[in-house]
Structures are given as structure tokens and as C-alpha cells.
Chain A
Amino acid sequence: MATAPPDTPDAVDRWDDDLVRLYEQHYDDLVRLAYLVSGQADRAEEVVQDAFVRTQRHWARVRDPLPYLRTAVVNGCRSLGRRQVLERARRPRPPDPAELGADELWDALAALTDRQRAAVVLRFWCDLPDAEIATALGCREPTVRTSVHRALAKLRKEIDR
């Protein structure tokens, strides 16, 4: 559902200092997270800004802001849905990969399911424990382990082709 951001001065004033600090400290990394999960550099900032707007709206009741933001970002990436799939399919292969397997791995990552891709990024780029990944993905810890295991198997299979 499209919801208006709180752009009015009153709403803007409600930004808490802690939220501003979170914004300043984590915005860049959350944008990178959004990019790695979605594969869409041009939409990553938009996803993160939407996540902050949602968090700001519920700020008084948010207990763990960073996990909340991370979840909102992952959900935002998932909601890119069909467009993401189509844009992945159109993504050109960069010429002359700088390192053996590097770009093949990136392309293979794009072939994973949304959940697998997010699990891989949260595990191997964010270095999050299973419990926090489970929170971000809205699933249980065993599902996280299964997703990562299957994702790695699929990535290796793609690379070994």
C-alpha cells in the first residue's frame, strides 16, 4: 500500500535523536545490504528510506531498532518482486572479470531464491548469527541454516559448471 511519508514539519520534528543517529550510522550499510539482496543499485536507497520512514512512524514502540530496520529493508527488497527478477535477467555481464569466478559468483547469487540470497548476504556480508538472520527473514533458525546450505550448494554448482 502506498503511504505518504511524514513530510510535514510536525512529523519531521518527531525524528528522535537516536533514530537520527541510527540513520547517520547505518544508512550507508543498509543501502549496501539492500543492493546485495535485491541486486538493484538504483532502488536500494529508496528501499532504505522507506524502511526509515516506517521505523520512524512506529519509533515509540520499536524495541530493537536495527533489527527492525534490517527486516524492513529485506522485506522491501522482496517486494521489488517481479521487477527485480526481470531486471536481473537483463543485467549485462561485465567484461573482463577482475578475478577468476568473481562475476560468475555474482551472477549465480542472482539465480538464488529471494530467501536464499538474503540469507547468504546476511550471513556472509553482515556476519549475523542465525537468530538475527531468522528475525530478518521472518523464519526459524533451522530454516536459515537450510537456506544457507542450499544456497551454497547451488552457488557451487553454478560455479562448477
Chain B
Amino acid sequence: MTSPPVLDDAAFEAELRAMLARRAGDVRPARPPAPAARPTGPRATRPRGWALLAAAAAVVVVAGAAIARAGGDGADRTTTGPSSPGGEGVPDAGVVWPVVGEEALAQLVADPGDLASTLAAPDSAAAAYLAEYAPGATPGEAVTDDGREAVVPWSSGDDYRGRVELRDAGGPAAPLWVVAGSTTDGLSVVDVRAENGGLSFAVDCTFDLRGAGLAIRARVDGLDAAVQAPGGGAGGPLALFVPAPGGADVDIVVRAGDEPYRVVTHVGFRLPEGAAPEPEVTPPTPDLAPTGGTAPSEPTEAAAETLAGTYEGHETFVRVTGGACDLDHVLDLTLTPAGGEPWTLHATYCGVLDGEQRWRGEGPVVITTAAGDTLTGWLDSAADLPTDGEPFTVEVTGGTGAYDGAGGTCRFDNHLVATGPGSQDQFGDWSCSVTP
């Protein structure tokens, strides 16, 4: 038996290029003429039910003006179903929910051949949804009044309860149940407003998460988007902001639990067209863009400013599957500058495991000063496991107020103490060199 030849790096890369070029030839795109690509593309070849599903999903999204215009201040506001008092059952018309249907549910079903049967009943559609979004939750039995809408209650142990709301997008002859959203008792998205080129909202949690923390994700028109924490919320709802253009569909998922997620509140909104000054849309990146909604402070000299102090706080993380991240992290720190008032740092970022020994984490971060100005940037960290802390950095790429357009680097020495599964306290020293 002979051994395969050992290729040097250049030869291996050449082999890789050749393989990719060869494989690229496997597909023979049948490009429909523009702009009628969609109606004649592959979707049209799906079973008739899928077309109905897509159409119905669109009706659900468009029919409700997710954010009813409020007179006077020009802002648009509403509260979502789960935050409304007694918000049981399927939301009334006028509230837009994230329809987890045509595309997303297809991902949740292991065998495409099982898709039709899975979506034929609300119980199985809800079970598939929960298996992906809150695997720690156990679905109950579906309740439906008129056969077109259904509620599937779920529970996580004795502590947490909620409901998955569904609609039949197919009709009695060929039912196709799509998930319209999910609610959790005591975990709501509130104070939703379209303003400053995006959607501001708050997450209100009234129950004890027992240190599990919250994982908050947002998608704008189906693409992952950075969630900014403008500050505030201490002891109350957590105020957040997602940059998004007018007319965009914004999908918010709030989850909590140890491992895996045990609760999920999932809501969606469509921003009014031209509702607010919109940021220019560039290729989507996780970088945080200034919201443009904060009145700038007095101009400052463009000289590097060095800040330093101590910090302490808490981090939670949960294992996730099926995406680019192995772990979802939520980090909240209090930074105390020498001789100054406390600042806050919030980061919701992605952790990747290389085997079980090497961990790397990165993602958007927002530092909010005591005066309410922000520094925005990118957190980058790595460690060999197990670890009791490794230094990490934040590359500052922008900010608001006194730090509008800021750049620089912050360094954190890091010590951590595990406080439970997926939960750890962090503390140490920090310093930032920032050019406002």
C-alpha cells in the first residue's frame, strides 16, 4: 500500500483551488430573466402549499402596521402582544409578528420529506420551532378556536411558561401552520419605537433568571444585526436599539436559560417607510454604527485620551448549534474610571470552539459613559481552556456624543470566577486610548 504524496502548502492550495473550480461546475444555474426572477424561480416549483404559505406569510406581515403612528412627536410606537396585559392567544390584527414559516421552519425539520407532515398540525410545527429556539422548553397540547389560529403552551420545569402562537397559512384542505411568535410569562419586549434610523425597544424581565442572563438577537430583513445598548435600564427594562432602514422587518428574539435555552420571546415589527432619518445602508457588518439620534456634545480636540480604572461584572453563555457560533455570550461590566463615575460595557458576542481546548470570542460592544456618551467597537478575546481569565481587547470604531467618530483601543486584563453552568463573574483593570 502506498501513501498519498505529501503536498507542500502551495501545491495543497493549488489542489484546493482546482477542486473548488471543478465543484463550482457542478451547478448549472438557470437564471430567470430579471426582474421576474422570483415568480419563475425554484420557489415556483415547490408544492402549491408553499406558494400559499409564502403568500399568507406576507399577508400577515403586511396586514398589521406593526408600529402604529402616534401623533404629535412623530415617533412610532406600540407594544407587542406579550407585553400587553392579559396578552393571551394570537395577537389582534394590527400587530405584526415574526412569521417563522416559509424559510425558517424548513430549516428546523430534519428531513425535507417530513416538512409537509410537520407543518400540517400546530403541535408538530410548534415542537419543531421550540426544538430550535428553546430546546429546554416542553410543548403542550395545541388549543385552537376556529382552526386557523392556535396556541401551543410550553413550560420549562416548574418555573417558566409561555406560548407559541401559530396561524394556518394553508387552509382546511392543505393546512400549513406557521409560527407567528412566542411569548414568555414575565419576559416581554416593550416600549417599541421607530426612531433615529432604527428600532428602539426594551426588554422587561420580571422573573428571576437565576443568573442565566438574557441572550438577545435581532435580524433586519433576515440578516443578523447588531443590538446596541444605549444605556439606562438599571433595575428596570433593558433599553436597546437596532439600526434599520424604513420599511425594514425587524425580528427580535429574547432567550434565557442555562443550557440549552429554556424560554423564548420572539416578536417582529415592520418599520414605517421613511419614518425617520435613515442611515445609509452599506454591506451588512456587525460593526455598530452611530445612531445619529443623540445630540452631539461640544467638539473636543482630536487628541488621544487615555482612560483607566477597574471593572467588575458578570457574563453568561450558552451552547448553541446549527450556526456560525458555538456559544452565545452576554457580557455586562461596570467600568469605574479612576476618580470618575461608573461606566457600563455591554457585549453580546459569538464564541467559537476549536476542539474543546481553544476558545475564541468576538462581537460588537458598547461602552456607555456616565454622561451617556458611547464608545462602540469590536471585542476580541481568546483563551486556552480551562481558563481563569485572559486579557482581551476592544477595538473602538466609533461612538456618540463626545465620542462621535472615536477610534482607539481598550485593553482589559481579565480574571474570572465561575458561578455556575454558563455563568461567571469577571473583574480586573482596564485602560483605553481613544481619539475622540
Give me the interface of A with B, judged by CB distance under 8 Å.
1-5, 7, 12, 15, 19-20, 23-24, 27-28, 31-32, 35-36, 41-42, 44-46, 48-50, 52-54, 56-58, 61-64, 67-68, 70-72, 75-76, 78-83, 85-86, 100-102, 105-106, 113-115, 120-121, 124-125, 135-136, 138-140, 142-143, 146, 150, 152, 155-156, 159-160
Contacts and interface: CB of A to CB of B under 8 A. Distances in A.
Nearest to A140: B378
- The B interface, classified by DSSP as helix, strand, loop or mixed, is mixed
Interface string B32-62: 0011111101110000000000110110011
A8 B6 CA distance: 57
Interface stretch (B227-235, B257-265, B277-285, B305-313): B277-285
Contact of A28 (B29, B99, B378): B29
B29 A124 contact: no
Contact of A71 (B107, B280, B284): B284
B61 A82 contact: no
A156 B12 contact: yes
Contacts of A48: 29
23 contacts: A1-B222, A2-B61, A2-B101, A2-B103, A4-B57, A28-B31, A32-B29, A41-B26, A45-B30, A48-B29, A53-B38, A64-B283, A75-B223, A76-B222, A79-B103, A81-B323, A102-B19, A135-B283, A138-B284, A146-B360, A155-B16, A156-B12, A160-B6
B282 A2 contact: no
B99 A125 contact: no
Nearest to B58: A4
Contact of A35 (B27, B286, B395): B27
Interface string B357-382: 00010100000000000000010100
Given A2-B101, A140-B380, A105 B15 contact: yes
A81 B106 CA distance: 10
A125 B17 contact: yes
B324 A115 contact: yes
B107 A83 contact: yes
Contacts, number: 208
A4 B54 contact: yes
Interface stretch (B245-253, B296-304, B332-340): B245-253
B102 A2 contact: yes
A4 B221 CA distance: 11
B281 A7 contact: no
Contact of B362 (A49, A56, A143): A143
B38 A49 contact: yes
Nearest to A143: B362
A32 B223 CA distance: 21
A3 B249 contact: yes
Residue of A61, A121, A136 contacting most chain B CB atoms (<10 Å) = A61
B354 A2 contact: no
A145 B101 CA distance: 36
Chain B CB within 10 Å, residue with most, of A27, A67, A79, A135: A79
A33 B104 CA distance: 21
B209 interface: no
Interface residues of B, number: 81
Contacts of A68: 281-284
Given A7-B38, A124-B20, 8 more contacts: A2-B99, A62-B282, A71-B284, A75-B222, A79-B103, A124-B17, A152-B13, A152-B16
Given A2-B102, A52-B37, A32 B31 contact: no
Contacts of B13: 124, 152
Contact of A63 (B16, B111, B282): B282
B98 A1 contact: yes
Contacts of B189: none
Given A85-B322, A100-B4, A114-B324, A125 B20 contact: yes
Contacts of A139: 286, 362
Contacts of B109: 83
A46 B103 CA distance: 10
Nearest to B53: A2
A135 B284 CA distance: 8
B224 interface: yes
B98 A120 contact: no
A104 B29 CA distance: 25
B38 A138 contact: no
Nearest to B60: A2
A86 B24 CA distance: 21
B281 A61 contact: yes
Contacts of B281: 58, 61-63, 68
A156 to B, nearest CB: 6
B172 to A, nearest CB: 22
A36 B284 contact: no
The 9 closest A-B pairs by CB, nearest first: A4-B58, A15-B35, A82-B322, A61-B281, A31-B29, A125-B20, A81-B322, A32-B24, A2-B57
Given A1-B219, A1-B222, A105-B19, A49 B27 contact: no
A78 B324 contact: yes
Nearest to B270: A3
B224 A138 contact: yes
A138 B223 CA distance: 11
Contact of B251 (A1, A49, A115, A136): A1
